Amino acid sequence: MEKVIELKDVWVRYGTQTVLEAVNLELKEANGLLGVIGPNGGGKTTLLKVLLGLLKPCKGNVKIFGKPPEKSRDLVGYVPQYRRFDFDFPISVWEVVLTGRMSHTGFLKKYSEEDKKAAEEALRTVEMFELKDRQIGQLSGGQRQRVFIARALATNPKLLLLDEPNSGLDPHMQDELYRLLNKLKQEMAIIMVTHDLSAVSVYVDRIACLNRTLHYHNSKEIPVEDLEATYQCPVELIAHGVPHRVLERHKGSS
Amino acid sequence: MFDLLQYTFIQNALIAAILASIACGIIGSYVVVKKIVFISGGIAHASFGGIGLGYYLGINPMFGLLPFSLLSALVMGTVSRKSKIPEDSAIGILWSLGMALGVIFVYLTPGYAADLTTYLFGNILTVPRIDLYLMLALDIIIVGSVYLLYKEFLALCFDEEFTTVQGVPTEKLYLFLLCIIALTIVVLIKVVGIILVIALLTIPATLSRKFTHNLKKMMLISTAFGTVISVTGIGLSYALDVPSGATIILVLSFVYGLVAVGMDMFEGRLSLKS
């Protein structure tokens, strides 16, 4: 079984500023949700761009399903930060989701029946098929986020990457989103970049902290030292009513 | 009024108006939704260098304009994305560089540069037949490219990054879109001139956007608006004996203002009701 992700000693610099420093990450499990947390400007989006092949690291090796990122694009679904969109854009939900098929359709070709079937299935998975003819701006924030997830699912990905999918959503919508991801993670590996620590505690299976360097232990418990190294300040987490712990038990406590 | 249609120059003007409206309706829609008005203006103005070159070489300035506008599009598209300075600054520099080259070429041309104002401000009533053939050929290229690349252009305009992730060569596609914009500018030059060309690329498309949420329909409505308004403008400019290009822009702006204010009032009343 080939590894989903293999990052070896990856460095990214913008000018003189080092954004990612000696990042190593190995993800073998073909399903489950990996949460990447870290402060703003800590390189979370940069990490996703490296995984997507949008950004070439200045040093290091990136492999997605054993191939360079550009060669594995038909296996990767991507949900970008949604606040950067122009929601007045004249495009329907259906047209948006179909663009998730382009890596399969090929250049200069019309969308095939298979493409349309995949798009329909993706929209049904996120329960948005009934609204397929709506213009993208006529949806609520939560519905829109589901459309962007459907667009990523139309690719039939084995790896789904989400960049701050919960930002701009109210708690109820966030809850819906996480339940959807919980369903999806049975069939694919999901990496979600977020700064929402409370959500991470309930739904993720593995957790990584990123602030220029990456701390990853292939578990969902983070040593306090790693968390504090990531945020560079004491972090207090209160996990109320949560079935799992995020933090290790402190030494000395029973 | 119908007597006018017997004149060849009026017939040519109407054909030119229709050909221009097709190009600006389709490509203007991309310019507006992808928000690349400024770079399009830059390509148009920099292309003045090509007109100057045409005069200098003693050829039809349209044939200096055509390659030069394509070159401007490629240089501007590449430099604005790759350079370390902000995109709009890069565009501003190339914009004026092209114009300055044009001014020098015109200055170096012996004798008087006849019809120079035609290229700057347009004069649809003096479009020669050869220019109409050129406009028709360019329209065919523009419509054909958009027909073939509709799905790619739509994805590119909506979300360039995601389209790249889908394996589409978006950088090349963007440069190609800029080249198509350059061809559109060549089609529009005779109607409104370099200085005013950006109005034809933005106003009909912005106007049609108010009536639809579908890009194809936006292109059609925009073409229809362009045709009706430019023909009205030609009529007015003939009747009042004022420059045609500027008259067309004034009619466009007037209609846009009317529709915008009208729709705001209408929507305002609706929201007051509910």
- Give the tens place of pLDDT for each residue, A106-117: 888 899 999 999
Sorted by sequence, the CB contacts under 8 Å of residue A184 that are 6+ apart come out as: A125, A149, A153, A160, A190
The CA-CA-CA angle for residues B67, B8, B248, to 5°, reads: 65
* Contact present, B173 and B30 (Cβ < 8 Å): no
Task: Name every chain B residue with its beta carbon within 8 A of the beta carbon of A100.
Answer: 162, 166
CATH number at residue A42: 3.40.50.300
Supply φ then ψ for residue A60, to 5 degrees. Answer: 110, 175
The answer, yes or no, to whether residue A105 has pLDDT greater than 60, is yes
Q: Cα distance from B157 to chain A (closest Cα, Å)?
A: 9
Task: Give me the pLDDT at residue B274, please.
Answer: 38
DSSP state, residue A23: E
Q: pLDDT-derived band of residue A239, with 50, 70 and 90 as boundaries?
A: very low
Check A78 against B212: CB less than 8 A apart.
Answer: no
Rounded distance between C-alpha atoms, residue B77 and residue B176, angstroms: 9
* Contact present, A185 and A153 (Cβ < 8 Å): no
Q: pLDDT-derived band of residue A1, with 50, 70 and 90 as boundaries?
A: low
The answer, yes or no, to whether residue A215 has pLDDT greater than 90, is no
Number of domains in chain B: 1
Of A85-94, A219-228, B222-231, the one with minimum mean pLDDT is A219-228
DSSP state, residue A41: T
* Contact present, A30 and A4 (Cβ < 8 Å): yes
Of A70, A89, A108, the CB nearest to B158: A89
What H or E segment, with its residue span, contains residue A248? none
The answer to whether residue A196 is domain-embedded is yes
Per the model's pLDDT, the better-predicted residue between A232 and B101 turns out to be B101
Q: What are the distances in angstroms from CA B146 to CA A97, B30, B151? A: 21, 10, 9
Q: Which residues of chain B have pLDDT under 70?
A: 1-2, 268-274
Check A102 against B164: CB less than 8 A apart.
Answer: no
Q: pLDDT-derived band of residue A232, with 50, 70 and 90 as boundaries?
A: low
Rounded distance between C-alpha atoms, residue A206 and residue A14, angstroms: 29
Size of interface A-B (CB pairs under 8 A): 72
Rounded distance between C-alpha atoms, residue B229 and residue B265, angstroms: 23
Task: Name every chain B residue with its beta carbon within 8 A of the beta carbon of A91.
Answer: 154, 158, 213, 215
The answer, yes or no, to whether residue A37 has pLDDT greater than 90, is no
Supply φ then ψ for residue A37, to 5 degrees. Answer: -110, 165
Burial B136-173 (b: 16+ CB within 10 A, else e): eebbeebeebbeebebbbbbbbbbbebbbbbbbebeeb
Rounded distance between C-alpha atoms, residue A245 and residue A237, angstroms: 10
Per the model's pLDDT, the better-predicted residue between B5 and A49 turns out to be A49
Task: Give me the pLDDT at residue B202, please.
Answer: 96
Radius of gyration of chain B (CA): 19
Per the model's pLDDT, the better-predicted residue between A217 and B177 turns out to be B177
| Pairing between β-strand A213-216 and β-strand A206-211 as defined by DSSP bridges | antiparallel
Task: Give me the pLDDT at residue B271, please.
Answer: 54
Task: Name every chain A residue with its beta carbon within 8 A of the beta carbon of B165.
Answer: 52-54, 73, 76, 78
Of B159, B161, B214, the CB nearest to A90: B214
Coil, strand or helix at B188: helix
The answer, yes or no, to whether residue A204 has pLDDT greater than 80, is yes
Q: Can you give the residue range of the structural domain that contains A32?
A: 5-231
Coil, strand or helix at B36: coil
DSSP state, residue A109: P
Of A73, A99, A108, the CB nearest to B155: A99
The answer, yes or no, to whether residue A253 has pLDDT greater than 70, is no
Task: Give me the pLDDT at residue B273, please.
Answer: 42
Q: Cα distance from B178 to chain A (closest Cα, Å)?
A: 18
CATH number at residue B178: 1.10.3470.10
Task: Name every chain A residue with its beta carbon within 8 A of the beta carbon of B176.
Answer: none
Which of B184, B194, B191, B177 is CA-nearest to residue B51? B194
Rounded distance between C-alpha atoms, residue A200 and residue A246, angstroms: 8
Per the model's pLDDT, the better-predicted residue between A217 and A128 turns out to be A128
What tokens appear for A205 in the block? 């299976």
* Contact present, A216 and A36 (Cβ < 8 Å): no
The pTM assigned to this predicted structure is 0.89
What are the beta bridge partners of residue B146? Answer: none
Q: Can you give the residue range of the structural domain that contains B111?
A: 2-273
Task: Name every chain B residue with its beta carbon within 8 A of the beta carbon of A54.
Answer: 161, 164-165
Supply φ then ψ for residue A214, to 5 degrees. Answer: -110, 130
The answer, yes or no, to whether residue A240 has pLDDT greater than 80, is no
The stretch A10-25 carries a mean pLDDT of 89
The A206-211 sheet, strands edge to edge: A76-79, A159-163, A189-194, A32-37, A206-211, A213-216
* Contact present, A211 and A231 (Cβ < 8 Å): yes
Number of domains in chain A: 1
Rounded distance between C-alpha atoms, residue A32 and residue A187, angstroms: 8
DSSP state, residue B109: S
- Give the tens place of pLDDT for each residue, A123-167: 999 999 999 999 999 998 889 999 999 999 999 999 999 998 888
* Contact present, B249 and B196 (Cβ < 8 Å): yes
Which of B176, B166, B188 is CA-nearest to residue B252? B188
Task: Give me the pLDDT at residue B110, please.
Answer: 87
Sorted by sequence, the CB contacts under 8 Å of residue A222 that are 6+ apart come out as: A207, A209, A215, A246, A247, A248
Which residue in this structure is represented by tokens 């979600």?
Answer: A192
Which of B18, B42, B31 is CA-nearest to residue B174? B31
- Give the tens place of pLDDT for each residue, B56-113: 999 999 999 999 999 999 999 999 888 888 889 999 999 999 999 999 999 999 887 7
Q: pLDDT-derived band of residue A238, with 50, 70 and 90 as boundaries?
A: very low
